[in-house]
């Protein structure tokens, strides 16, 4: 399996500091920031700093340290945004789109962390 990474994608530019972002959390291997077009009261994107296109690419090629860091960052974002544990009674959703069928817009792995309101069905019926 091979994955081609386009280093001109918008999240690569964010990681290089070429365009600004509203950072929620930065760790050794991950960055979390607010989505520019939030679809819920909480809409944070968590990305690995490494050059991975999709979740399957990440799991196939990332180091254990990167995978642990990324997953812990997602959990920490949920905690920081008061979506998890004793802070919430509402819960949250995490989604990673991959490829054309999932309408992935930015070809750098990102986990959407969504919450703060009822989120409706996971998929539309189309
Ligand atoms: P996708 O459809 O690839 O799963 O989601 C891409 C997400 O990136 C969208 O929710 C979109 O609003 C967000 N996005 C696109 N460009 C930017 C940007 O320049 N800054 C931030 N913070 N989010 C962006």
Q: Which two tokens stand for residue 46?
A: 């968590």
Distance between CA 41 and CA 59 in Å, rounded? 29
For residue 126, the model assigns a pLDDT of 66
What confidence tens digit (pLDDT) does each residue in 60-85 have?
A: 999 999 999 999 999 999 999 999 98
Centre of ligand 1 from the C-alpha of residue 2, in Å:
24
For residue 89, the model assigns a pLDDT of 73
Distance between CA 62 and CA 25 in Å, rounded? 20
Residues belonging to the active site: 110
Residue 125 has pLDDT above 80, yes or no: no
Centre of ligand 1 from the C-alpha of residue 113, in Å:
12
Pocket probe for ligand 1: among 36, 38, 47, the residue whose CB has the most ligand atoms within 8 Å is 36
Ligand 1 neighbours, Cβ below 6 Å, are: 10, 21, 33-37, 97, 103-106
**Domains (ranges, CATH) in the chain?**
10-115 (3.30.428.10)
Q: Which atom belonging to ligand 1 lies closest to the Cα atom of 34? A: 22
Distance between CA 64 and CA 15 in Å, rounded? 21
Q: Which atom belonging to ligand 1 lies closest to the Cα atom of 21? A: 22
């Amino acid at each position: 399996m091979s994955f081609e990474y386009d280093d001109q994608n918008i999240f690569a530019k964010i990681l290089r500091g070429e365009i600004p972002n509203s950072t929620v959390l930065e760790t050794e291997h991950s960055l979390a920031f607010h989505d520019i077009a939030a679809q819920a009261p909480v809409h944070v994107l968590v990305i690995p700093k490494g050059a991975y296109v999709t979740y399957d690419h990440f799991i196939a090629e990332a180091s254990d340290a990167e995978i642990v860091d990324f997953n812990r960052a997602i959990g920490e974002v949920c905690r920081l945004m008061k979506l998890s544990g004793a802070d919430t009674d509402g819960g949250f959703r995490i989604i990673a789109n991959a490829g054309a069928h999932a309408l992935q817009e930015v070809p750098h792995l990102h986990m959407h962390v969504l919450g703060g309101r009822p989120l409706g069905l996971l998929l539309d019926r189309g």
